Structure 1
Amino acid sequence: MRALTVRPERPDSVEVRDVPDPVAGPGELLVEAVALGVCGTDREIISGAYGWAPQGRERLVLGHESLGRVRRAPEGTDFTAGDLVVGVVRRPDPAPCGACARGEFDMCRNGRYTERGIKERDGYGSELWTVETDYAVRLEPALESAGVLMEPTTVVVKAWEQIERVGQRSWFAPQRVLVTGAGPIGLLGALLGTQRGLDVHVLDVVADGPKPAAVAALGATYHHAPVSEVAEKIQPDVVLEATGVGRVVLDVIAGTAPYGIVCLTGVSSAGRRIPIDAGATNRDLVLENDVVIGSVNANLRHYTAAAQALAAADRNWLELLISRRVPLNRYADAVRPEPDDIKVVLTFE
């Protein structure tokens, strides 16, 4: 079978190779790939920034944003041939730490977790793949064209869960949310905000094109003015930060309403320095009871909730987020971003 592989920490070593068909072990599904989402993490691994091959191997099969159809399922499970499924990305560390031992492997304390397509486990970027039944989540058949958005949706499901847990330390009745960044994470985070009945505002740098159109179709408000100006105007109770841009991060921390919560989901590049008034930032956080949290990855609970959120979403709106569908043999086109891209998807015919 064909698989999208890379030699980690070797720039531009990505290629489609023939690899042996996988053999499903006890308690595993054999799955035919339908689609694979491409994201910034994949591009960074391809650039040689990081990535870890399975032990004893030089190459890693890429891909963590999966969507597939079950070809064969073990007897006695809830899965049957033809089911549409997504595979969970992370696995708990073998030790395990206290969080992993309790199913909260997205909050691993010792860093010895593994991840499909990223860290020491082959990903889902192959024509066939296997996954343990305990780490597979079924999707409604109607989501076949958009179910590849499942993994990024789990990221924002977790982010919203963390926001709500923090808010519940006291009376919490948010009204306005500002999402910074109109990529897949930002737009899916905005979707979950509208599903909660909030007044959702999304900010990005572009003035027109598919991103403002997707925000408008969601019933949210789009902005492309400076973030400090927008935050001052709307006074958000919650900020979901999805750009990782240092200046934006600082501006939203300073721009929330009292008792504001900022959840950071964007990963910043190191080495960029900007001036900061640490005293003023500390003063505002303390005197307004503000909170800044980081959130990454997801566990099984978040996958289940993400499947429900996608099932409740408008299918036509979800389709707006998929900019391009590219066949596996043209993977180079998929990993090369274009200006109007939101989510690019590899397909397996």
Structure 2
Amino acid sequence: MVPGKPELAEISELPDPVAAQGELLVAGLLVGVCATDSEIVHDGFGRVPPGQDRMVLFHESLGRVLEAPPESGFAIGDHVVGVVRRPDPRPCEPCADGQWDFCANGEYTERGITELDGYGAQRWTVPPEFAVRVDSGLGELGVLTEPASVVAKAWGQVDRIGARVEAAPRTVLVTGAGPLGLLAALIGTQRGLDVHVLDRVRAGRKPGLVRDLGATYHHDLDAVPVRPDVVIECTGAADLVFDVLGRTARNGIVVLTGISGSEEEISVPGAAINDAMVLHNTVVVGSVNAGMAHYREAAKALSAADPGWLERLITRRVPLSSWTDALTRAEDDVKVVIDLRR
């Protein structure tokens, strides 16, 4: 496909890839679909690989290893997820240290997004250092690893910032009950926290998914009965972002993971928010993408979760033959995946 030209989205026959020395050859099983994919197709976000006029889409992957060099640490039959981001060619200090999710100069590349073909293929290759083994017992649920890695990083930021105070968080508010929000809530419950999830919908599957985690669902911020120690913001809704800043407990931590994707201007009570943040020692941090440690944490969290609950996150499975249908969001969708085998 060509970014920004949905009329050119198609299925193409390409030569089977040949793994370079040391690489894994993988049979693609599923890819997950997120808002970024739709923005690439419809809005022109992303960049095709150099020397190409189009790109293979999708960055959320799940595959099965077909070929693995003996020294790779992987074996034929392993279920794997490919990492999205790659360090820049003249590595900045974070990239040189393996923290490409903190790239300082912005010259990173990303599978299916920025200058690299994605995982939306029945065969793909990947260097072992950019592959993550997932529990084969998860089956197709391993496709949730990449979105889970994003919120695993967010929780990692909470841990690092929280170390400034000799007091562990007790309550968390997750804003948004899409895939990121629900997976953030899952990790919060696994940590034994009092988890509250805010979303605007009043019915459908989301409230039940939250309740079945042992968390509390809200559709009105004013009705949330706690001042949370932690906020994981997953909507990117600008008015909501600023609304939660003045509502945390003392020493609160707010992690922003949602992209607004808009230039809409809003009015905010800047002075009141500033005073509340200063007087309460509030920290706000943005968090994007994920590093290898976050992928591994995500894989652990999914392995420890109730597979029946995870299965309910995947609301539609679209065959490859009609993959563009996955880009149109249905009313009760949570996570949509494309089956690359059909």
TM-score, with normalisation over the residues of structure 2? 0.98
Query: Aligned residue for 1:247?
Result: 239
Is the aligned partner of 1:42 residue 2:37? yes
Distance 1:308 1:275 in 2: 41
| Residue aligned with 1:54, SS | coil
**Which of 157, 170, 175 is residue 175 of structure 1 equivalent to?**
170
Is the aligned partner of 1:265 residue 2:257? yes
Distance 2:249 2:74 in 1: 47
Query: Aligned residue for 1:109?
Result: 104
Superposed, 1:45-56 pairs within 5 Å as: 45-56=40-51
| Residue aligned with 2:74, SS | coil
Give the C-alpha shift of residue 94 in structure 1. 1.0
User: What amino acid is aligned across from residue 330 of structure 1 in structure 2?
Assistant: S
Distance 2:199 2:65 in 1: 38
| Residue aligned with 2:235, SS | coil
Superposed, 1:102-141 pairs within 5 Å as: 102-141=97-136
Query: Aligned residue for 2:73?
Result: 78
Structure 2: stretches of 5+ with no match in the other structure: none
Distance 2:163 2:7 in 1: 46
Distance 1:172 1:152 in 2: 29
Q: Percent identity?
A: 55
Give the C-alpha shift of residue 21 in structure 1. 1.1
Query: Aligned residue for 1:212?
Result: 207
Q: Give the aligned CA root-mean-square deviation in angstroms.
A: 1.0
| Residue aligned with 1:309, SS | helix
User: What amino acid is aligned across from residue 59 of structure 2 in structure 1?
Assistant: H
| Residue aligned with 1:66, SS | strand
Give the C-alpha shift of residue 18 in structure 1. 1.2
Distance 1:110 1:77 in 2: 30
Contact 1:12 1:48 in 2 (8 A): no
Is the aligned partner of 1:326 residue 2:318? yes
Contact 1:13 1:46 in 2 (8 A): no
| Residue aligned with 1:263, SS | strand
Contact 2:170 2:193 in 1 (8 A): yes
Deviations for 1:265-298, whole angstroms, at most 9, x for unmatched residues? 0001232111112111111111110011100100
Number of matched pairs: 341
Contact 2:62 2:140 in 1 (8 A): no
Is the aligned partner of 1:291 residue 2:283? yes
Give the C-alpha shift of residue 10 in structure 1. 2.9
Structure 1: stretches of 5+ with no match in the other structure: 1-5
| Residue aligned with 2:64, SS | strand
| Residue aligned with 2:124, SS | strand
Contact 1:240 1:263 in 2 (8 A): yes
Distance 2:41 2:190 in 1: 35
Give the C-alpha shift of residue 308 in structure 1. 0.8
| Residue aligned with 1:82, SS | coil
Give the C-alpha shift of residue 11 in structure 1. 4.3
Superposed, 1:213-232 pairs within 5 Å as: 213-225=208-220, 227=221, 229-231=222-224
Distance 1:267 1:333 in 2: 23
Query: Aligned residue for 2:141?
Result: 146
Query: Aligned residue for 2:82?
Result: 87
Distance 1:88 1:9 in 2: 24
| Residue aligned with 1:305, SS | helix
- 1:36–1:197: structure 2 CA closer, same or farther, 3 Å change rule? same
Is the aligned partner of 1:274 residue 2:266? yes
| Residue aligned with 1:70, SS | strand
Distance 1:211 1:90 in 2: 30
| Residue aligned with 1:45, SS | helix
Query: Aligned residue for 1:158?
Result: 153
Is the aligned partner of 1:17 residue 2:17? no
Deviations for 1:88-137, whole angstroms, at most 9, x for unmatched residues? 00000011001101111100000000000000010100010000011111
Give the C-alpha shift of residue 149 in structure 1. 0.2
User: What amino acid is aligned across from residue 114 of structure 1 in structure 2?
Assistant: T
Distance 1:252 1:278 in 2: 13
